């Protein structure tokens, strides 16, 4: 696999898959033992189902290592090796731990070298600076410029973006980066802000700001609110042992209780809350993202544009359910396009979407009451970056940089 040595000519919206497998779930934040997950089978199954994009981060515990192992197994298969260009690999940099961030150029560079090794690849299709709201705008700017240097001078990255929680902060930073560098961001990853409970990413004023800032693609992630919108839900008691999410999930207890009621409403209609939340977010963001002109090709070379989504799963049945819903979404949108119509949020050509829209709009949104579109503060009160100033830019003496330099030497 040879590294890319020039900036890509194809726009991101024609190369980024509309559905990516997110591997934040390959992490102790979601499961007790990520190494026990059938992660190789999940990745192989994703590819067999047509999902060819994968999103990870060094912050997600062993996620990069597990995803890299699964991909390496497929890349090096003796019978049918997977070509590197057939997959789209996304990772992040800058976030080290819950309250520890290092956006210095030397740490960003080290993080990219390490990700390349872990993911068994010579280049990364897209890299975000991770959770940008936790550091200063100046730090974000410097880190983005370093990613672009790695793109332009070393050919290690093809596209550059930012990720985070508060959508208005993401918009402000996108505007600042365009203003300061004259070059817009390729992508913005927003999570938890286009769900059945929180629709703030769909505000036209926010989307217009992103578009004016030149952002090519906006991706929606965490359709289930990081586990909030599930039939099991998250226990409101912070001392509960029922779910690992209790330890870190930032949602207040009353919001967890409100979302638990949504599960009861779904069950009364013969549905699981997960299925309703996934279907609603997939189809609605497919429409909204496309209408805001921040979507991607629905299929290679297709004139149909859709908003792109990152879906996290921890089992093959979850993956299969999501892909089934996505394929039905595409079929409905194709029918509308073929008929010369426009998907307006009510007419999609599928009975299932009409059922989901009616359940969400007529029952779930009223049931949420004051909690509709609620977003917790990020960072929360009392946040302090635990990375000491004198440690920023100090990289481990673990052989990562030396190994990268050795690889480059052998390629010359």
Catalytic center residues: 60
Give yes or no for a contact between 383 and 131, defined as CB atoms under 8 angstroms apart.
Answer: no
How do strand 19-22 and strand 88-93 relate by DSSP bridges? unpaired
Instruction: Name the nearest CA neighbour of 183 among 222, 130, 147, 133.
Output: 147
Distances in Å between the alpha carbon of 59 and those of 26, 187, 354, 378?
Answer: 11, 19, 38, 17
Nearest in space to 248 (alpha carbons), one of 4, 10, 59 = 59
The two counts, helices (H) then strands (E), for the chain are 13, 12
Distance CA 66, CA 217 (A): 27
Q: Tell me which residue has tokens 């912050």.
A: 59
Q: Following DSSP, what letter does each residue of 249-278 receive, concatenated?
A: ----HHHHHHHHHHHHHHHHTT--HHHHHH
- Give Cα 388 distance to the centre of its chain: 28
Whole-angstrom Cα distance, residue 93 to residue 19? 22
Dihedral sign, Cα of residue 144, residue 384, residue 189, residue 97? positive
Contact 63, 57 (CB under 8 A): yes
The C-alpha atoms of residue 49 and residue 92 are separated, in whole angstroms, by 25
Task: Give CA–CA dist 327/319, Å, rounded.
Answer: 12
Question: Cis peptide leading into 173, omega within 30 of 0?
Answer: no
Pick the closest to residue 164 from 378, 392, 385, 382 (CA basis): 378
Q: Concatenated DSSP letters for 330-397? A: HHHHHHHHHTT----SS--S-HHHHHHHHHIIIIIHHHHGGGTT----SS-TT----S-GGGTT----
Q: Is the Cβ–Cβ distance between 96 and 131 less than 8 Å?
A: no
Rounded-to-integer distance, Cα 365 and Cα 327, Å: 26
Q: Give yes or no for a contact between 26 and 66, defined as CB atoms under 8 angstroms apart.
A: yes
């Amino acid at each position: 696999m040879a590294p890319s040595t020039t900036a890509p000519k194809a726009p991101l919206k024609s190369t980024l898959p509309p559905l990516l497998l997110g591997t934040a779930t390959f992490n102790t934040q979601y499961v007790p033992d990520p190494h026990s997950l059938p992660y190789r089978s999940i990745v192989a199954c994703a590819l067999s189902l047509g999902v060819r994009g994968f999103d990870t981060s060094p912050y997600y515990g062993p996620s990069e290592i597990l995803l890299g192992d699964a991909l390496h197994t497929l890349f090096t298969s003796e019978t049918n090796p997977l070509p590197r260009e057939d997959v789209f690999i996304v990772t992040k940099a800058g976030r080290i731990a819950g309250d520890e961030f290092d956006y210095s150029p030397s740490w960003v560079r080290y993080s990219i070298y390490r990700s390349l090794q872990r993911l068994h690849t010579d280049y990364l299709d897209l890299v975000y600076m991770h959770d940008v709201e936790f550091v200063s705008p100046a730090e974000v700017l410097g880190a983005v410029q370093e990613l672009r240097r790695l793109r332009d001078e070393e050919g290690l990255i093809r596209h550059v973006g930012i990720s985070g929680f508060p959508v208005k902060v993401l918009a402000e930073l996108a505007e600042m980066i365009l203003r300061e560098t004259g070059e817009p961001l390729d992508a913005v990853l927003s999570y938890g802000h286009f769900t059945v409970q929180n629709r703030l990413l769909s505000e036209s004023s926010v989307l217009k700001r992103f578009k004016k800032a030149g952002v090519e693609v906006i991706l929606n992630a965490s359709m289930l609110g990081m586990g909030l919108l599930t039939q099991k839900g998250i226990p409101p008691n912070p001392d509960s042992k029922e779910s690992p999410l209790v330890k870190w999930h930032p949602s207040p207890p009353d919001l967890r209780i409100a979302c638990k009621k949504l599960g009861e409403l779904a069950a009364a209609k013969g549905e699981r809350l997960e299925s309703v939340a996934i279907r609603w977010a997939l189809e609605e963001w497919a429409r909204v993202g496309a209408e805001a002109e921040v979507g991607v090709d629905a299929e290679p070379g297709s004139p149909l544009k859709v908003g792109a989504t990152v879906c996290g799963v921890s089992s093959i049945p979850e993956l299969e359910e999501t892909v089934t819903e996505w394929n039905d979404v595409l079929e409905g949108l194709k029918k509308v396009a073929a008929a010369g119509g426009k998907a307006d949020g009510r007419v999609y050509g599928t009975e299932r979407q009409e059922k989901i829209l009616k359940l969400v709009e007529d029952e779930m949104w009223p049931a949420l009451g004051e909690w509709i579109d609620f977003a917790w503060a990020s960072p929360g009160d009392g946040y302090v970056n635990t990375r000491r100033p004198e440690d920023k830019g100090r990289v481990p003496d673990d052989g990562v940089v030396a190994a990268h330099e050795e690889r480059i030497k052998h390629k010359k």
